[in-house]
Chain A
Amino acid sequence: MTTYTKKQVNDLVAGTLDWDSVHKMLSMPKDAGRYALYMEVLQDAVTYDDKILLAVGPHLNIVESATDGEIIVKCNCGHDFGDYRENWKLGANIYVRDTAEKMDQVYPRLMSPDTTWQVYREYSCPSCGTMLDIEAPTPWYPVMHDFQPDLKTFFEWVELPAPAKI
């Protein structure tokens, strides 16, 4: 079975791992130690002490709170978005590109959608301002809840003890 070094996983997260290794990782069965390594790499990127359980975006993780053991969503800067079963976007700052002028700022004219059909909603962290996600729905569509992981089953899969408050 193939195993990988922490550096390789680190490069993978940073997007600098060479394509041949990425391809091999994608094609080969997942190695048993990957989850632990991956979490270590994510943990190294943040300053808070809460234990990272799963990533929900490049700057956003589901963590087990170091103070009360609650499972919450946190930005890399430490901003708390609350319970992981709630949509974190509801607690984020939002900027909606819903006019041609606003679209012109990101794409050349006529190469962006007609805003009566589609808008961009940009969500950013209220504390650090990092853009955390963008969605591109029709203008009337409700805020999307991207996904809600079944953490209980997940910890059964990786054969590790689940946090108490799941």
Chain B
Amino acid sequence: MNDLTNPVEVLGIDAGGTMTDTFFVRRDGEFVVGKAQSDSDEANAVLESSKDALAHWGREIQDVYPEMVTCVFSGTAMLNRVVGRKGLRTGLIVSKGFEDFHRMGRALQCYLGYAFEDRLHLNTHRYDEPLVHIHDTRGVTERIDSKGVVVIPVRLHEARTAAEELIDQGVKAIAISLISSYLNGEHETAIRDVVLEVAKEKGVDLPVFASVDYYPVRKESHRTNTTILEAYAAEPSRKILGQLSDRMKAEGATFDLRVMATHGGTIGWKAKELARSLVSGPIGGVIGAKYLGEQLGYENIACSDIGGTSFDMALITQGNYSIHKDSDMARLVLSLPMVAMDTIGAGAGSFVRIDPYSLSIKLGPDSAGYRVGTCWPEGGLDTVSVTDCHIILGYLNPDNFLGGILDLDVPRAFQCVKDQIADPLGLTVEDAAAGVIELLDLSLRQHLRAMITSKGYSPRDFVCFSYGGGGPVHAYGYTKGLGFKETIVPAWAAGFSAFGCATADFEYRYDKSVDVGINDESSEEDIEVACLKLQSAWDELKVKVLEEFAINGFDESAVTLSPGYSMQYMGQLNDLEIESPVANISGKEDWPALVQAFDDTYARVYADAARSPELGFGITGAILRGSVETSKPNIPKEPMSGPTPPEAAVLGKRKFYDNRVWVEADLFHMESLLPGNNIVGPAVIESDATTFVVPTGFATNLDEHRLFHLVETG
């Protein structure tokens, strides 16, 4: 039955390695979350998960899909393909003499993604298999110098031989990345055309990716890795997303499927630069926090997302997150602009071990994942995890874990913690388990504090958002004593990333490296040339952005373009991204405005006194973002009721180990609580997907937007 006054408008999908979550939002802001086991057929898992979600409203996919306007997908399949080296077999064409640089890799790739101790520990350093095998790599004679001047013209007959050999060897795609091509793309495009010609002659349908068409930015390793990923990892995803889109259309969907991208916007699944969606889950949370902040008036937000395996942190200052330009993922340096986040490998499912020599507790870096811990015998684990400690201490309900789909064996967990942790330390099981939780909280708290203070801010100026499956369990622990203005836990914390994806703009972003330096000695003419150089880079990017939107059926008039640039004081190492104060640069008369915008941003990010205009100004990159209007989820707004929770929300009491004593904690059902309700710890608030812990010394109240505000009462 269709409810036309209150249709379901938005769908966020988070296709993880084990579970596929769907998040449906109605026009009035009400939402439901669905879960299904992930499947090799991703389309199937999405449909199953949708059914599960819509069952809460008693509705069917065929009724709901046609009334929806927005759907955003995020998933881990592409990343897993890279990590597991299971991508499309790709050939690589580089400048002759440079055939080995891809497999040699950048030195930092041998310890990227490692825990701090392992970074220092040289014998753990290791290079992963290259994405492209040396036998699938060819060099072509050519050279462009660091100014973009052709020094050796490209030998196209070599490109022809290379393409023939690679295709005969069985590569399924070809990537081209030449030295200095970001300054002058003519050799790459010439090679690309030859490769396409050869493919046509041989009658094979072979995608060809020239770095200049995708990521014309400096740094060969970053650019080459990213271009290869476009073929190796993104090409298979394009097919899968195509299938998903077709299946949804078959159920009556009329919306365009979009994908969350690393730069914080969403892009169409047909996007040319699909590798941008390599990592999307944790970013969704940051975008969601920003959106919630905009709607509710929070400008400075510390985002904290704790899942089973990691703790992700990001800062939103004055309503903006920052972008990290040379990001790395899956132990590869990449030229994808990415929402800046700090991640540590400790989560709610981390393994707990004792160092037999120092008798200290060691958390992670590996975690139990879907196998939960020793409390779930079928999981086959015999090493204690943080979850085991939660179960023993009464934080989590063993009878309703993940909505009760798993049978947990509490005595087994108790025995394992006793044997592995408590006895070696000479502690009671409760104190040992509590010690583990305290250690995790302490470590999260230190990282959170360090992330904020190292950027020159104070927690006092921030509201902390806590989400992810484990956020509500640990929110009190990792925010305690840091002095945040407020700690906020959304009732939909477990589905917050999927929610965040649904709030993201439909936005493409293209980057191009630019080299411009202007100081006191520069002439008027130099400034004129510099300004025009930036404008011509924007013009080039504009073509690409509009091309992407055209693929999704939007013409130029629907697209809002926001040009930007990266600028730095000459001689300094870090640049800042600036949204351009002028939409078009006509000449040198626009230069002061560009410089002023940078100076102001610099003073805001660092300090007034740190500004150094006497050094001169350099522009390092041109950025162009284009976006179109999309429908976003409304934030729920419900009528307020009194401070006492309704009868229906009260579930009784449970033993809970709180500050080294057993207490009786009040139990509540999260979904039955009403706005305005105030709960004083010790209390545990349960829902299917998460558990919100409010120990003694804390209280929480639910506001009209279904956000819990956690406060320290003393």
Contact = CB atoms under 8 A, between A and B. Distances in A.
Interface in B340-395: 353-358, 362, 365-366, 383
A27 B118 contact: yes
Contacts of A24: 366
A45 to B, nearest CB: 23
Contact of B353 (A19, A23, A26, A28): A28
B353 A1 contact: yes
Nearest to B353: A1
B359 to A, nearest CB: 10
B117 interface: yes
Q: Which of B121, B123, B124 has the most CB of A within 10 A?
A: B124
Interface string A20-48: 00011011110110000000000000000
A1 B366 CA distance: 13
A24 to B, nearest CB: 7
A148 interface: no
Interface in B93-139: 115, 117-118, 121, 123-124, 126
A23 to B, nearest CB: 6
B118 A29 contact: no
B420 interface: yes
A2 interface: yes
A65 to B, nearest CB: 32
A130 to B, nearest CB: 25
B546 to A, nearest CB: 45
Contacts of B115: 27
Contacts of A31: 356
B121 A27 contact: yes
B121 A32 contact: no
B383 A2 contact: yes
B162 to A, nearest CB: 24
Nearest to B421: A1
A52 B123 CA distance: 26
Given A1-B420, A2-B383, A24-B366, A29 B356 contact: yes
A23 B124 contact: yes
A19 B124 CA distance: 10
A27 B356 CA distance: 14
A24 B364 CA distance: 11
A19 B85 CA distance: 14
B170 to A, nearest CB: 27
Given A27-B115, A27-B118, A29-B362, A1 B123 contact: no
Contacts of B117: 27
Nearest to B354: A1
Q: Which of B354, B366, B383 has the most CB of A within 10 A?
A: B366
B366 A32 contact: no
Contacts of B356: 1, 29, 31-32
Given A1-B354, A2-B383, A29-B355, A19 B126 contact: yes
A26 B121 contact: yes
B331 to A, nearest CB: 12
A151 B354 CA distance: 28
A32 B356 CA distance: 8
Contacts of B358: 29
A27 B354 CA distance: 13
How would you classify the secondary structure of chain B's contact residues: helix, strand, loop or mixed?
mixed
Interface string B383-409: 100000000000000000000000000
Contacts of B353: 1-2, 28-29
A113 to B, nearest CB: 21
A28 B354 CA distance: 10
A121 B113 CA distance: 40
A53 to B, nearest CB: 22
A41 to B, nearest CB: 20
Contacts of A29: 353, 355-358, 362
Contacts of B362: 28-29
Contacts of A23: 118, 124, 126
Interface string B582-613: 00000000000000000000000000000000
B86 to A, nearest CB: 16
A32 B357 CA distance: 9
A102 B126 CA distance: 32
B124 A27 contact: yes
Nearest to B128: A19
Nearest to A26: B124
A35 to B, nearest CB: 13
A80 B612 CA distance: 72
Contacts of A28: 353, 362
A128 B174 CA distance: 51
Contacts of A32: 356
Nearest to B360: A29
Contacts of B121: 26-27
Contacts of B124: 23, 26-27
Nearest to A20: B366
Q: Which of A26, A27, A31, A32 has the most CB of B within 10 A?
A: A27
Nearest to A27: B118
A1 B362 CA distance: 9
Interface in B61-109: none
A26 B123 contact: yes
A19 B114 CA distance: 14
Interface in A28-77: 28-29, 31-32
B113 to A, nearest CB: 11
A31 B362 CA distance: 14
A17 B101 CA distance: 28
Nearest to A23: B124
A19 B127 CA distance: 11
A102 B622 CA distance: 56
Nearest to B117: A27
Nearest to B126: A19
Contacts of A27: 115, 117-118, 121, 124, 365
A34 to B, nearest CB: 11
Nearest to B424: A1
Nearest to B355: A29
B579 to A, nearest CB: 43
Interface string B402-427: 00000000000000000010000000
A28 B363 CA distance: 11
Nearest to B357: A29
Interface of A: 1-2, 19, 23-24, 26-29, 31-32
15 contacts: A1-B354, A1-B356, A2-B353, A24-B366, A26-B118, A26-B121, A26-B124, A27-B365, A28-B353, A28-B362, A29-B355, A29-B356, A29-B358, A31-B356, A32-B356
Given A2-B353, A29-B355, A29-B357, 14 more contacts: A1-B353, A19-B126, A23-B118, A23-B124, A23-B126, A26-B123, A27-B115, A27-B118, A27-B121, A29-B353, A29-B356, A29-B358, A29-B362, A31-B356
Q: Which 10 A-B pairs have the closest CB atoms?
A: A29-B355, A26-B124, A1-B356, A27-B118, A1-B353, A1-B354, A29-B356, A23-B124, A32-B356, A29-B357
